[in-house]
Structure 1
Amino acid sequence: MKGEWADPFLLKDGDDYYLYPTKDSKGWLYEKFHVFHSKDLINWDGPYLALDLNDVEWASSRAWAPGINKFNGKYYMYFSAEAQIGAAVADSPLGPFRDILGRPLITKDQYQCQSIDADLFIEDDNQPYLLWGQGKCWIVPLEDDMVTFKTEPVLLSDQLYRNKGADPIMTDNGIYNEGPHLQKIDGEYVLTWSNYDTRDPRYQICFARSGHIFGPYESPEDNRVTTPSEKFFGTGHASMARYEDGWVLCYHRLIDPETTVLRETCISKMEFIDGKLIVNVDACLE
């Protein structure tokens, strides 16, 4: 996809795909959320305006990293704005989305981490779960109103381990930083996240698996998802979607790490090889 787009969330709805990215800008102060539409992940139409922070009472800038899913016939967007997380709803995946609460769902630093990067996972039994956080990853089941926590949130980043019985990943170089995303693949929960900082060329996507949604999550010793590349750097903040007979990973990368922190979005096929999740960043769908 051409242009300066980051933090992509890819939603498969029937035979259609919808992409909700952050519009990259100087200072990352942009105030609108957009959505693209595709049938094949190669040809896209849009962008369409999904949500404008000018219509949100409690925020006016830093429209970042939305997470979207379909629940009971409606589409719910959990969006970051000014380091807080809001909830919005629409009748169509193209929007327009409207703010549900008129206030943040999760306020700034409310759970001892930066309140950004929300992800909405719908379990097989139709139970919705909200994930979020930079520095820490939280997960909580939601009531059907999609804005009430069913229980106290669980600190999921404390449930990430290198192999069974090892120390938590938080204590070593595989540290959780941001961008959690959860899918269920072949009966297992697969969690991806990004470590390092998005402006760092080492920024990369990691993963872990679990048989239970609250963990513990185990990963191989080298849990990097995106392959090293001589051409592309800063690959991170990913989401997954079914594609043909497998899955794809949608992520961003630095356009030119030597001159700018602006990013672009790309999509690559995922492979599971010898217990590892592998994505070749030199082979994007085109």
Structure 2
Amino acid sequence: MKKSFLFIIVCLIGFQACGTKKEESTVKAKSGNPIFEGWCADPEGIIFGDEYWIFPTHSDLYEKQVFLDAYSSPDLVNWTKHERVVDTAAVKWIHKAMWAPAIVEKDSKYYLFFGGNDIQSDDEYGGIGVAVADKPGGPYKDHLGKPLIDKFHNGAQPIDQFVFKDKDGSHYIYYGGWRHCNVAKLNEDFTGFIPFEDGTIFKEVTPENYVEGPFMFIRDGKYYFMWSEGGWGGPNYSVAYAIADSPFGPFERIGKILEQDPEVATSAGHHSVIHEPKSDKYYIVYHRRPKGETARDYRVTCIDEMTFDENGHINQVKITFEGVEANPLK
């Protein structure tokens, strides 16, 4: 009797161990949404070499937004967290609201742009800054020791920047809150700006219904300009777009392509786009608020596939719990 009892116990332990081992060896087929843990917003997605990278805002009270993390993945499914790639110890002029990162590689250096201090007027100190590192995961050091843009131009609050590399190698920074969007041409070392032909530095390119979060990419020779509409904490937060022949527009609004689904999540917006050229897939990376949640800062980073119709228009994105399939870059 004792031997039989012991045999049963051993079998049960063995079964449990095998079950655990099987679970650990299971390969994730899809990313799932959110794609990683934590309250993260305003995600900037990009490819560097054979890795996908995402740089989000740490979503919390402004006084606690004093650092930025980053995440890398070989396949969009398995993500590695890189903690505090930059913080206010490195960028000493920021004391709160370090957010909405944008990143670009140039001459084997990585330049990380971000907003700081959420300034409400030209009398406050802050704006858009830039840090530099030798690798995507940092550590980053302050590139200027002061903001790159520290004033309101054309009514645009200096936040939510995106740096776009044009076909001729020029780099433009698009940015702006308070329903105004500007573009400026960056100089070679990202320490300042090159004036446009008319002598101006900041050119307004605000499309209809623009609120914040600009993003730009080129497809089939056309410039796709995207932005967020509505209130960032509300159910009407969404993403719309325009198509133009020039990086300066005019940007005539076509319509929304990303918005809430009450059965999945609300407040879907402030996005970026990753183009994986090997299989010519496009992914939209964005934040949203989980269903039933009302906390202001409870935002999570998600990813879904973005497709186009035969006319080059962006199809409506379906936000999902499943996310996207693995797509290794190697």
TM-score in same-fold range (> 0.5): yes
Q: Choose from 128, 134, 153 the match for 1:91.
A: 134
How many equivalent pairs are there? 269
8 A contact 2:94–2:116 mirrored in 1: yes
**Is residue 43–residue 55 contact of structure 2 (8 Å, CA) maintained in 1?**
yes
Secondary structure of the corresponding residue to residue 131 of structure 1: strand
Q: How far, CA to CA, are the matches of 2:222 and 2:268 in structure 1?
A: 24
More relative contact order, 1 or 2 (CA 8 Å, 6+ apart): 2
- Which protein shows a greater Rg? 2
1:155 matches 2:188? no
Identify the structure with the greater strand proportion: 1
Is 1:284 the counterpart of 2:318 in the alignment?
no
Deviation of 1:108 (Å)? 4.6
* Residue identity opposite 1:104 in structure 2: P
Read off the aligned partner of 2:145 and give its amino acid letter.
G
Paired position in structure 2 for 1:116: 159
CA distance, structure 1, for counterparts of residue 47 and residue 157 of structure 2: 28
Kindly report which structure 2 residues correspond to 1:51-90, keeping only aligned pairs within 5 A, or say none: 51-83=86-118, 84-90=127-133
Whole-angstrom CA distance in 2 between matches of 1:102 and 1:91: 18
Deviation digits for residues 172-211 of structure 1, max 9, x if unmatched? xxx1000001111121111111011110111001111111
Alignment correspondent of 2:256: 224
1:50-73 deviations in whole A, cap 9, x for unaligned?
111122221122111011011122
Q: How far apart, CA to CA, are the structure 1 residues paired with 2:238 and 2:52? A: 24
Question: For structure 1, which runs of at least 5 residues remain unmatched after alignment?
Answer: 161-168, 170-174
> How far apart are 1:14 and its partner, in Å?
2.2
Superposition deviation, residue 228 in structure 1:
4.8
1:102-141 to 2 correspondence within 5 Å?
A: 102-134=145-177, 135-141=179-185
| TM-score normalized by the length of structure 1 | 0.89
Give the TM-score normalised by the residue count of structure 2: 0.77
Task: Name the stretch that deviates more: 192-201 or 271-280.
Answer: 271-280
Deviations 1:33-90 (A, max 9, x none): 1111111111101133211112222112211101101112211111111021101111
8 Å contact 2:150–2:158 — kept in the other structure?
yes
Gap runs ≥5 in structure 2: 1-35, 119-126, 196-200, 326-330
Deviation at 1:143, TM superposition (A): 1.0
Please report how far the alpha carbon of residue 111 of structure 1 lies from its aligned counterpart in structure 2 after TM superposition.
Answer: 4.5
**Whole-angstrom CA distance in 2 between matches of 1:107 and 1:34:** 24
Distance 1:60 1:27, change over 3 A: closer
Paired amino acid for 1:205: V
Structure 1 residues 227 and 82, CA gap change in structure 2 (3 angstroms): closer
Give how far 1:150 is off. Answer: 0.6
Name the % identity: 32
Shift of 1:267: 0.7
Structure 1 residue 7 corresponds to structure 2 residue 46: no
Match of 1:20 among 37, 55, 79: 55
| Corresponding position of 1:269 | 305
Kept in 1, the 8 Å contact 2:43–2:301? The answer is: yes
Match of 1:212 among 246, 258, 264: 246
Seen in structure 2, the aligned counterparts of structure 1 residues 29 and 110 have a Cα distance that, compared at 3 Å, is farther
CA distance in 2 between partners of 1:107 and 1:256 (Å): 37
| Deviation >6 Å, runs of 4+ | none
Q: Which residue of 1 aligns with 2:15?
A: none
Contact in 2 for aligned 1:234/1:254 (Cα 8 Å): yes
Amino acid at match of 2:302: C
Match of 2:271 among 224, 229, 238: 238
Cα RMSD for the two superposed structures: 1.7
Compared CA separation, residues 67 and 22, structure 1 to 2 (3 A): same
SS at match of 1:272: coil
1:171-210 equivalent positions in 2, closer than 5 A: 175-210=209-244
Equivalent position of 1:146 in the other structure: 190
Q: Kindly indicate whether the alpha-carbon contact (under 8 Å) linking 1:266 and 1:285 is maintained by their aligned counterparts in 2.
A: no
